[in-house]
Structure 1
C-alpha cells in the first residue's frame, strides 16, 4: 500500500506538471512555493507546542453541533489531534483518509482521534462525507485553538490575492474574514495533558505517516500505572 507521503508527492507532481485536470500556470505554482518557503523560513513551526509541553484544553463543536471536550476524551485515554486546513485542500483530504485507515490501530491502543480545522460545520460534514471519516471533525472557528498550540498564521497579501483569483474563498469556507490558517500538525496527548508526540508542517505538502504515532501511543500505555 502506498504511504501517505508517497500519495501526496504523486499528487503534487501531477498538479505542478499541469496534468489534467490540473492546468495551473507556472506563475501560480511559483507564488505557492514562495509562500511555503517564507513560512518555513519564519521559524513559526519551531515556536509551536512540542513534545513535553502541556496541551491546551479545548471544547469545540463537531460537524453536527455537539460540543466535544478534550478533557473528557482524555479521561478515556490518549488523544490524537490533527490540525488541517479544510475541505478545499486536497492534501488534507488525503491525510484524513489515511487517518481513517489508521483509526482501528489508534483505538486498539486505547486512543481517540479528532481533527480540527477552521471551517464551518457544513464544510466539516462535507469533509467527513467525501473522505469516509468516522472520527469527529471539529470546527476551530477563527483558529483559536490552533493559536493556543502556536499553529495559526496569517496569509501574506500576495497569497490572499492569488486565493481570490482561484476562487478559494477562505472567509466563506471558515465564516471568518481574517485569512488565517493553521499549519498542518499532529499531536498525541497523554491523559495527563502532556504532549508526547508533535509534528508541525509549515510545508502543507508534507505530512507524517499515521503509523508514526503508534510508538508514542504504546509508550503511554506502558507509563500508565496499574491499579493497586
Structure 2
C-alpha cells in the first residue's frame, strides 16, 4: 500500500507558523525564532544515541496511569519510537496527527509497532491522543528516564519559558516530574533485537522526520 499524497509535516508547519506568529505577536515570535536559531547553531549534542547501540530497558506509563515495560510494547520485528515534547506543543500535534494518517497504517501493514513517548503526565498523553485522534500507542517517560539514557534531553530556553508564561502555560506543569525538561523531537527505529538501526534527532523543534524517511528506514531493517 502506498502512502497517500498529502501535505508533508514541513508544509503544515509552514502554514501553521504564519497564523501562529500573527497570533502571538512580533515580540514573542522573535523569542521563539531566536530559540530555534540558537538550537540549530548548537546542533545535536555529543553523546546522543547512535546506530548500533541497544535500546535500554525502561518502564513507561500509559494513558491510564499503568506502568508497563517498554519491551512489552515493542513488536516482534522492527519498532518505531517517536519522542515528542508534549501535547502543549503544536508542532508535536501536527506531527503525531500526520503520523497517524500516513505512517501508522503503513507500519501496521508491516507488523511494526509505533510508540510515541513524552515526559508528560498520563493526562498529557491522553490529551495527545485526543488532539490527533491517535490510533497508536502513546506513553509517558517520567523524569525523561529513557530520553536521558539516549542523551536527547533538553529544555526550553529561559526566554522561551517566559514567553510560554505570557501565553498562559508552563511546560513544567505538563511534565510528570514538574520540571521543564523535554526530549529533542527524535525518531528511533530498532530491529527485533532492540538494536538501533536509524536515529533522527531534530534540535529545531519546528522540524520533524517525514513519513517517507521513516518508512525507508523500516524497510531497510
Secondary structure at the aligned position of 2:220 is classed as helix
- Aligned partners of 2:153 and 2:182 also within 8 Å: yes
SS at match of 1:115: strand
Question: Within 2, Cα distance between the matches of 1:147 and 1:39?
Answer: 18
What aligned pairs does 1:40-51 form with structure 2 within 5 A after superposition? 40-45=40-45, 47-51=47-51
Structure 2 Cα separation of the partners of residues 192 and 24 of structure 1: 46
- Specify the alignment match of 1:4 in structure 2: 9
Name the CA distance, whole Å, in 1 between partners of 2:216 and 2:159: 41
Q: What displacement does 1:201 show? A: 0.6
Is the 8 Å Cα contact of residues 45 and 201 (structure 1) preserved in structure 2?
A: no
Instruction: Please identify, of 91-100 and 155-164, the stretch whose mean Cα deviation from structure 2 is larger.
Output: 155-164
**Aligned match of 2:131:** 130
Aligned equivalents of 1:110 and 1:7: distance in 2? 28
Note the 1:1-228 alignment, pairs <5 A.
1-16=6-21, 18=22, 23-45=23-45, 47-74=47-74, 76-101=76-101, 102-220=103-221
Structure 2: gaps of 5 or more residues: 1-5
- CA apart distance, 1:39: 2.0
**Given that residues 61 and 142 in structure 2 are in contact (C-alpha distance below 8 angstroms), is that contact kept between their aligned partners in structure 1?**
no
**Structure 2 Cα separation of the partners of residues 116 and 103 of structure 1:** 15
Instruction: List alignment gaps of at least 5 residues for structure 1.
Output: 221-228
125-134 or 112-121, which deviates more: 125-134
Separation in structure 2 between the aligned mates of residue 175 and residue 216 of structure 1, nearest angstrom? 31
How big is the alpha-carbon RMSD for the aligned residues of Structure 1 and Structure 2?
Answer: 1.7
Tell me the distance in 2 between the aligned counterparts of 1:34 and 1:47: 25
Q: 1:100 to 1:140 in 2, by over 3 A?
A: same
Measure, in 1, the Cα distance between the counterparts of 2:155 and 2:205: 14
Please, what TM-score do these two structures have when normalized by structure 2?
0.89
Question: In the TM superposition, what whole-angstrom CA distance separates every residue of 1:33-64 from its partner, at most 9, and x where no partner exists?
Answer: 12122222223356421222222222201101
The count of aligned residue pairs is: 215
2:53 and 2:195 in contact (8 A); partners too? yes
Cα distance change on mapping 1:75 and 1:119 into 2, 3 Å: closer
**Structure number, greater radius of gyration:** 1
Q: 1:190–1:196: 8 Å Cα contact kept in structure 2?
A: yes
Shift of 1:176: 2.8
Secondary structure at 2:123's aligned position in 1? helix
CA distance in 2, matches of 1:140, 1:75: 19
